[in-house]
Structure 1
Amino acid sequence: MTSDLGFTCSCRGAHQSGLPMNYSAEAPAVWDPAFADADDCLLSSDQCVVHAQHYFVKRVIEIPIIGSDEVFPGVSGSHSAARTSPVSAELWDTFGREAEKPHFGWLTTDLPVYSPTTLNLKAHVHTRTVGERPYVEPEPTDHPLAVEQRAGITQDRVREIAEAVLHSGSSEEQ
């Protein structure tokens, strides 16, 4: 017997089959569409460079789901600042990069399902093997995102996030 992990939308009353588990911000908050034609700017699905001075790499934020072996990467596809130099870009295709020690970064995306804002939340960035996005560990504070990452979230919270993101129009399912 399979279970339907979908949910009934409280806004529209429609049943959503399945439960989206992965969301992504298109760009860090500092990105301006006017940068797209600049030679010193880049926005790809994994990296962002602003005026060859500010470097960003797409990261994931994994949150354990209580009562499950799964993690919710859904709030995840946010961007966070890479180190102040393009070191993350230099290591992008380097095998063994997962041996790098975690480094400091800032969350540069406002995740609309959290208040106060997640913009400029301090974090530790953990590099993974080539082909996997690094993951973000918010500093252990009382910010709701940091608390949820430490304590986990329920399936009801996953549905709440899915509903909020699907109706916000500001994030894309990844």
Structure 2
Amino acid sequence: MNYSAAAPYVWDPSFADAPDCLLSSDQCVINGQHYFVKGLVEIPVIGSDEVFSWGVWASLSRESFARMADLWDTPGREAETPYFGWLSTDLPLYSPSTVNLKTHVHSRPVGDRPFIELEPTDHPLAVEQRTGITPDRVREIAESILHPTGGNS
């Protein structure tokens, strides 16, 4: 019931050895100038109590990233005001691209990934987050991820 991107869209494996770059399971810094946090775009599955999740990356300002990092292990961090960010994961099942959709990154209790709320636009991913998806759509997503056919990206 979930798919997760290992790194932001702009990450390049050559960055791994650079002193001003970092990629962990939760945070990413590129060239000491671009800051990302991993979170979940959650989509309700219609007719069930289940939720489908996209594990995605959102870029944050230096200030927001620093604040979120400062509170990373702090109980009560979920009371923080959401941080503005840009979606930094390309989900090829969606057109137009999901890269650079506006988001709000909501902190959750320590140990839980942030919740990524998409701006309520007419983008198909934002619509699915607001209205939910059917179990058939979940199967379609799983099939596309497990058996990609190639094509444009």
TM-score (structure 2 length as normaliser): 0.91
Distance 2:28 2:58 in 1: 10
Q: Residues of 2 paired with 1:150 and 1:168: CA distance? A: 26
CA distance in 1, matches of 2:149, 2:40: 20
Compare the two structures and name the one with the higher helix fraction: 2
Unpaired segments of 5 or more residues in structure 1? 1-20
Residue of structure 1 in register with 2:61 after alignment = 83
Structure 2 residue 32 is the aligned partner of structure 1 residue 56: no
Is 1:128–1:134's contact at 8 Å kept on the other side of the alignment?
yes
SS in 2 for 1:117: coil
More strand by share: 2
Query: Counterparts of 1:22-41 in structure 2 under 5 Å?
Result: 22-41=2-21
* Partner residue in 1 for 2:140: 160
Q: Structure 1 residue 94: deviation in Å?
A: 1.4
Q: For residue 97 of structure 1, what is the aligned residue in structure 2?
A: 77
* Partner SS state of residue 157, structure 1: helix
Deviation at 1:83? 3.2
Structure 2 distance, partners of 1:45, 1:104, is 20
Q: 1:111-130 counterparts in 2 under 5 A?
A: 111-130=91-110
Instruction: Note the C-alpha offset of 1:87.
Output: 2.0
* Structure 1: distance between partners of 2:47 and 2:131: 11
Distance in 2 of aligned mates of 1:126 and 1:37: 30
Matches of 1:158 and 1:67, distance apart in 2: 12
2-structure distance, mates of 1:168, 1:46: 26
Partner of 1:15: none
Cα shift readout 1:38-66 (whole Å, capped 9, x = no counterpart): 11111111111111221111110100010
Alignment partners' CA distance in 2, 1:168 and 1:91: 38
Matching of residue 139 in structure 1 with residue 123 in structure 2: no
Shift of 1:169: 9.4
| Deviation readout 1:47-105 (Å, 9 max, x if unpaired) | 111112211111101000101111111xx111111233322222211111100011211
| Runs of 4 or more consecutive aligned structure 1 residues displaced over 4 Å after TM superposition | none
In the other structure, the counterpart of 2:52 is 72
Larger Rg: 1
Cα-to-partner distance string for 1:112-132 (whole Å, 9 max, x where unaligned): 111111000001111100100
Identity of aligned residues (%): 69
Q: Deviations over 1:21-53 (max 9, x none)?
A: 111111111111111001111111111111122
SS for the counterpart of 2:55 is coil
